[in-house]
Structure 1
Amino acid sequence: MAIACGVDFGTSNSTVGWVRPGQPSLLPLEDGKTTLPSVVFFNADEDAVRYGRAALLDYLEGYDGRLMRSLKSLLGTPLMEGQTEVGGRALPFRQLLGQFIGELKGRAETAAGREFSSVVLGRPVYFVDEDPDADRLAEDTLAGIARAAGFSDIAFQYEPIAAAFDYESRIEREELVLIADIGGGTSDFSLLRLGPGRRERLDRRDDILATGGVHLGGTDFDKYLSLAAVMPLLGYGSSLASGAAIPSSYYFNLATWHTINLAYTRKSVVQLDDLVRDAAEPAKLRRLRALVEDRAGHWLAMQVEGAKIGLSGAEQVELELDRLSPPERLRVERATFVDAVEGLVDGIGAAVRRLLVEAGVTPGQVDTVFFTGGSSGVGALRERIAAIVPDARRVEGDLFGSIGAGLAIDAVRKFG
């Protein structure tokens, strides 16, 4: 059995991998499932902290409290050194991430029946685009949080390279592989030579032709779908009676997972009262104010996320927005989603092209595209990547587990 584990702390879901002979590498973390949604709910009614699916269930059942999701997106941003209010007291975001990492570690140790002091942590190719200092600070911050949670020996591996190690464990011939890891917060890519004759090498630097990525992912798809299809019901794009535009910050906060709680401040509620009075369409602003007062922003974001997932396989979906006042049944077309995220798809496609140029590889030389990450199921994105390397075969890994499994393999190389 391996000494160390691999931890994939994801924007939307997290996993822990541990190599054991003859057994699956991913450890069960919640109700027998190997994924733990990266969610924390501070249940004020029961004075308890819930994690994962239990956190989401408490929130949806209407318990009073504070829901926090997409915690990883805070790394590399100024918010990381800030704090939020929970139960009338200030909670530093650094401490919040530490609580979640500590919970992840504890659950993995319970499942494994042993303690882990050594870990390989997954990280995106870029926490922060085009800012090496901020990117380095984000990694150092995560290392400090992991150390405070009880890990003493810490190494990092790029998430798409970890996914490559998982894919390599199952192939029987050498391939040039493009790893497309489309997660909740980032889209990361690696181009590697993989094969049975290479997998036992301790030093794989010569096999990695290029790595790259952009800070765009599934939560960004959620955001732009929300702004295009749902937020207009709450007044987004409307105006004041004077003709001035309604400030967009309320809608952007509500459409972005890690800033939803910013919409709930007392200052925001007071400002919304003024906007209702001065709006050209006051009914929409009253609906927005009611949503904020009910702290239903995360519920609304979950409905949008569900629509995004549904539109990957259907031409249209219907949303039952029964917590709006008045309730609304909204039909969302796939074409609306595709138009809303076109700029994001363009940016991700450009990152793939840059990767090929950096590696000195033509599209026709790529044998395989290996898709992983929960957001790699978005059809428009898959089609764009497939069009860039049209001759490559497409392989789908475990969308939520490939990285954790690959990190476990890398942990054996690094720690034994």
Structure 2
Amino acid sequence: MSHISAGIDFGTSNSTVGLTAQGSTRLVPLEGGHSVMPSALFFNFDDDCSYFGRSAVAHYTDGVDGRLMRALKSVLGTSLIGEKTRVKARTLTFSQILAIYIGHLKKRLEQESGCEVADVVLGRPVHFVDEDEAADRKAQDELEKAALSQGFRNILFQYEPIAAALSYEQRVTREELALVVDIGGGTSDFSIVRVSPERAKASERKNDILANTGVHIGGTDFDRQLSMAQVMPHFGYGTRTKDGKRELPSGPYFDLATWQMINMLYNNKAMAELREIRYEAAEPGLVDRIIAVVEQRRGHELAGRVEEAKIKLSEESEIKLALPFLSDLAPITLTRETFDTAIARSVGRIRTTIAATVEAAGVAPDRIGTVFFTGGSTGIPLVRRAVLEFFPGAAVVDGDMFGSVGFGLALDASRRFRS
């Protein structure tokens, strides 16, 4: 039997797994016929089983009693990784929950390959945590520990934009400099890489990487910023206390708009705080809405609808967001103009990081022959403009928005684990 190796792109919003066997690389179907699976895990309290991806989200939205976990990757490198959360009769750390999800990806990989897979290249952002090397290293160590706990024995890491470059390189016909733009759910990463059909055959590519930078901004940040700007005001965010002296505390609204923080609202302490906020509010009817969402545990459903709205705003200038679980709230009008304003500061940081990438590469922008886009957030118009204004003469190539990194990681694994 030929050597089998794999690459896992464990993303903030979605995950993919690539498999290389008998000289062929492909993405593994993780859920039905889908090779892309939402990075979601649902603990069902009725049957004591765990569900993953679309199935996890469906159980949650169907009102099954349980606990939904999303955006787990975002806790890597933060103090939350060691925090414990109640899952029915068990108390689990986020590190343990992350390992359960990685274990499911491994199970699907081995079902597809028909044998145990010990060798894996895990994707990682350029920075898990900005400007904190110790926290960044800890984040990688936590991810490695999760993979080891699930039976992987030989684990290597590769930067996600480099993996995307390896995927893009499969289609080039001549040597060129490519800027790989990978903007996913949690991070924005940029690499300037020398690619060619000949270079694709080499196992060592260090000298072909001219620059590799990143910033901890991604799709979940844009979700939160859209929610805070255009949705949370309908729940009381930004309104004042009845004595008119101050605005209501923003903490619960921030948590409700942030995927990985939503579960923190589902406890007695948080509910007591919300009831105190309602008592102090000049418009208590608005606060009743956030209380209803938390009481009904609809937080992830709300975040999911905001995420869907964000995607629609990439195509339309104005949309309506309906929240049927709040009968007193008419559909909310969301505009791209206001969304652009809400994310402008984050996009500015992306623009600064691109400029740093070019400077680090030591090349003029007009030497970049192709801008290769991958990652779900590259479809946002303001983000694309921020990238392309640096390279007006470059060809623009859109890769597999969600699968390029997983495929490239499997290609990388086939070379680095070659005996």
TM range (shorter): over 0.9
Residue number in structure 1 paired with 2:161: 160
Matching residue's letter, 1:161: I
CA contact (8 A) 1:26 1:404 kept: yes
* Deviations, residues 165-213 of structure 1 (Å, cap 9, x unaligned): 0000111111100000001000001101000111111211110001000
* Matching of residue 297 in structure 1 with residue 308 in structure 2: no
How far 1:45 sits from its partner (Å)? 2.4
CA distance in 1, matches of 2:68, 2:310: 21
Residue number in structure 2 paired with 1:91: 92
Residue number in structure 2 paired with 1:8: 9
How far 1:111 sits from its partner (Å)? 1.6
Shifted more, 320-329 versus 379-388: the winner is 320-329
Identity of aligned residues (%): 50
* Matching of residue 371 in structure 1 with residue 407 in structure 2: no
Residue number in structure 1 paired with 2:210: 209
Matching residue's letter, 1:358: A
CA distance in 2, matches of 1:191, 1:206: 11
Matching residue's letter, 1:407: L
Secondary structure of 2:155's match? strand
CA contact (8 A) 2:25 2:410 kept: no
How far 1:23 sits from its partner (Å)? 5.6
CA distance in 2, matches of 1:254, 1:7: 29
CA distance in 1, matches of 2:156, 2:21: 20
Gapped runs of 5+ residues in structure 1? none
How far 1:101 sits from its partner (Å)? 0.2
* Deviations, residues 311-352 of structure 1 (Å, cap 9, x unaligned): 111111111111124232111111111111111111111100
CA contact (8 A) 1:123 1:159 kept: yes
How far 1:287 sits from its partner (Å)? 1.2
Matching residue's letter, 1:328: A
Gapped runs of 5+ residues in structure 2? none
Large movers: runs of 4+ above 3 Å: 20-24
CA contact (8 A) 2:223 2:310 kept: yes
* Matching of residue 258 in structure 1 with residue 260 in structure 2: yes
For the aligned residues, what is the CA RMSD?
A: 1.2
What is the TM-score of this pair, normalised by structure 2?
0.97
Matching residue's letter, 2:43: F
CA distance in 1, matches of 2:149, 2:89: 25
How far 1:389 sits from its partner (Å)? 1.2
Secondary structure of 2:377's match? coil
* Deviations, residues 64-112 of structure 1 (Å, cap 9, x unaligned): 1111000111100010111111114321111000000000100111122
Residue number in structure 2 paired with 1:141: 142
Secondary structure of 1:283's match? helix
Residue number in structure 2 paired with 1:115: 116
1:326 paired residue among 325, 328, 344: 328
Residue number in structure 2 paired with 1:189: 190
Secondary structure of 2:42's match? strand
CA distance in 2, matches of 1:245, 1:331: 23
CA contact (8 A) 2:249 2:277 kept: no
Secondary structure of 2:331's match? strand
Aligned pairs (5 A) from 1:8-407: 8-20=9-21, 25-243=26-244, 244-407=246-409
CA contact (8 A) 1:287 1:325 kept: no
* Deviations, residues 208-256 of structure 1 (Å, cap 9, x unaligned): 0010000000000000000001000100001111222211000100111
Shifted more, 21-30 versus 327-336: the winner is 21-30
